[in-house]
Structure 1
């Protein structure tokens, strides 16, 4: 007899009931409700080299999901309340198409939000994308400012590999955006408790110094082929969150990011930069090989990053390229250990997408990262990655 995991069975049952219920209610309430999704599946080759004596390089080849775009399915709907007012919702899952598993143990990992909109703007509540992410309806950074969005694969140069911080969704979030004026859109966001589900933090008091919280301010400006985004955000570290081993003495992070894109027709150019302080090691992505894995939780880091990218249309396809640079130095240090990893990083990405139809796209890409840190003298660990796959939308 096959044994079904109780959580997975319950999640599947709940999703089926929710979907059928919403579809059944659609005619009665004349609301707009739709089901949609993306499946991204392909192959991945990765080589990591710690560049240390006695440490062999590691190679892997595997089938993977979500290398170009995260695999997902979702429900979205809206209702016109009249007089310029409306209500909308978004429930968006995140899953792995190579093995069928859910990401993060949540039925709706990317978004579970409701929005009321009217003459005074939009107010969104629930699990929503942080402003610097591309998740839900509230993320304003991601693909609009980098040809590889947050990233392709594990090491192909997207924003999160040179910009530390949370490129994710957060629980208990409130986001307000006033009406757009002359192409300018402002945003204000606050998460009262970033994570209410993970076992070791779910019992911490919401909106208290015990738990991680985030505030963000943002602005976007769009005029013709020009798009500009700015984000100022801070992680208010919880003094009872186990991963914050620095405890109550850890200063909150602060980061300012500015980026823009301009479409010339023959090419679309991207440029962005960030200055940051108070970022713990856990907020740096791709630091899981060689000397860089020693970025220590007993310190926080400050520094800057820069990126330049381009999209070049070629027939039914697009060539993509990006280069990023990051400089991170110790900010607060709470240990006498020698493994505080001041790190310089260079990240390169090259890719190609080819549209077979409006719904189906083939992609391939290559990425290379090199870090220079003070953990192992002379060591410059590298990561190389090749990906290829297909994205289908429905």
Structure 2
């Protein structure tokens, strides 16, 4: 829904003189509410006892989930024409759960909050925004980063949305380039606890704490697509002692009519400040999407991680967990251009859904109960975009 900038900001109680200069302001959002069944899910994260993770009890869960194919959100997007092909742009975006109406973080605009300039040679923005690896792989994921069920945090890293970031985006015909530098991400990283300096990383004498950078180059021409990505982040649990999380990867896609096939690979090594490996894995995925009719779309994804080594702490012994894999299927039917209904289901082995597992990740709330090697999920939902 588009409105004059003064009217939209007035409705939000934010009238100010500079708002009169806006060429346009758009208020937008997504509402998504599924009913979900999951089995073998624990009631909480494991506890660490003698360098071993002890799983919590649990069982099956039936609930209205807080997110479905999309994370519920609302936002403001604005642009002002400055002349000579130059524009000022901004985005403010916050997330919430449809099941409760509660914000998904303690931030009003925890998803995105940035401002910048856009011109013939690209866009330069400043603030909280997605990293380059997110942009580079967005066209090569089987279910388009669906919250239910795609291992987004495993694939991209928990820092895929970062504070204090400078980012460049450029479109040159079929080529799209992205690059970013983060002065400090941590406290607002997805599913991650606060780090040294509160996650800000902007402390005198500790410039490297929680800083990160990355780039991606993507080709989308006709029926063929390809991308290469790189991402590095230096989380500091203790001020002045950052670890290292380094990822690189590549993906390909090919379309024939209404069928699109894709496959990708992502290398990762995450290490503690003392140099010991937290997680070293090779992650692979493949998928198919098929537009059966103009209204009905099907998606199928397969995900596999070859975990070389993992530790629960910087001085714990290294282990070789069983390799997790997952199959995901989505059937999505458009009732209109803005409203759809869907069924999505997934089965994960040697991990919880979305690769929530022990001793690796507890980012999305699908942690398996003790002794369980598999987890199944099924959700039926409705989504509306405005």
TM-score normalised by structure 1 residue count? 0.77
What does residue 46 of structure 2 align with?
none
What does residue 337 of structure 2 align with?
358
Contact in 1 for aligned 2:177/2:216 (Cα 8 Å): yes
What does residue 300 of structure 2 align with?
321
Report the Cα distance in structure 2 between the residues aligned to 1:311 and 1:236, rounded to whole angstroms. 36
Report the Cα distance in structure 2 between the residues aligned to 1:167 and 1:388, rounded to whole angstroms. 29
Contact in 1 for aligned 2:78/2:89 (Cα 8 Å): yes
Task: State which of 163, 172, 175 in structure 2 corresponds to 1:184.
Answer: 175
Within-5 A mapping of 1:301-380? 301-315=279-293, 316-330=295-309, 334-337=314-317, 340-371=319-350
What does residue 109 of structure 2 align with?
108
What does residue 150 of structure 1 align with?
145
In the superposition, relative to structure 1, how do residues 368 and 22 fare at CA in structure 2: closer, same or farther (>3 Å)?
farther
In the superposition, relative to structure 1, how do residues 58 and 217 fare at CA in structure 2: closer, same or farther (>3 Å)?
same
Contact in 1 for aligned 2:33/2:67 (Cα 8 Å): yes
Report the Cα distance in structure 1 between the residues aligned to 2:28 and 2:41, rounded to whole angstroms. 40
Contact in 1 for aligned 2:27/2:77 (Cα 8 Å): yes
Shift, 1:116, TM fit: 0.3
Q: Extract unaligned runs of 5+ from structure 2.
A: 1-7, 43-54, 352-356, 360-370
Report the Cα distance in structure 1 between the residues aligned to 2:164 and 2:267, rounded to whole angstroms. 27
Report the Cα distance in structure 1 between the residues aligned to 2:297 and 2:159, rounded to whole angstroms. 25
Output one character per residue of 1:78-126: Cα deviation in whole Å (capped at 9) or x when no partner: 0111111111111111111110001111100110011201233211110
Q: Give the CA RMSD over aligned residues.
A: 3.3
What does residue 258 of structure 1 align with?
250
Contact in 2 for aligned 1:132/1:166 (Cα 8 Å): no
Shift, 1:302, TM fit: 1.3
Report the Cα distance in structure 1 between the residues aligned to 2:232 and 2:322, rounded to whole angstroms. 22
Count residues in correspondence.
Answer: 341
In the superposition, relative to structure 1, how do residues 374 and 357 fare at CA in structure 2: closer, same or farther (>3 Å)?
closer
Contact in 2 for aligned 1:42/1:64 (Cα 8 Å): yes
Q: State whether structure 2 residue 15 is matched by structure 1 residue 19.
A: no
Shift, 1:22, TM fit: 5.9
Contact in 1 for aligned 2:185/2:200 (Cα 8 Å): no
Shift, 1:340, TM fit: 3.4
What does residue 367 of structure 2 align with?
none
Contact in 1 for aligned 2:37/2:378 (Cα 8 Å): yes
In the superposition, relative to structure 1, how do residues 199 and 205 fare at CA in structure 2: closer, same or farther (>3 Å)?
same
What does residue 21 of structure 2 align with?
29
Shift, 1:43, TM fit: 0.3
In the superposition, relative to structure 1, how do residues 196 and 62 fare at CA in structure 2: closer, same or farther (>3 Å)?
closer
Q: State whether structure 2 residue 205 is matched by structure 1 residue 214.
A: no
Q: Equivalent residue of 2:109, what SS?
A: coil
Report the Cα distance in structure 2 between the residues aligned to 1:300 and 1:392, rounded to whole angstroms. 40
Report the Cα distance in structure 2 between the residues aligned to 1:108 and 1:56, rounded to whole angstroms. 35
What does residue 70 of structure 1 align with?
71
What does residue 127 of structure 2 align with?
126
Shift, 1:129, TM fit: 1.1
Output one character per residue of 1:267-300: Cα deviation in whole Å (capped at 9) or x when no partner: 11121111111257xxxxxxxxxxxxxxxx9841
What does residue 46 of structure 1 align with?
38
In the superposition, relative to structure 1, how do residues 30 and 189 fare at CA in structure 2: closer, same or farther (>3 Å)?
closer
Q: Extract unaligned runs of 5+ from structure 1.
A: 1-14, 134-138, 242-246, 281-296
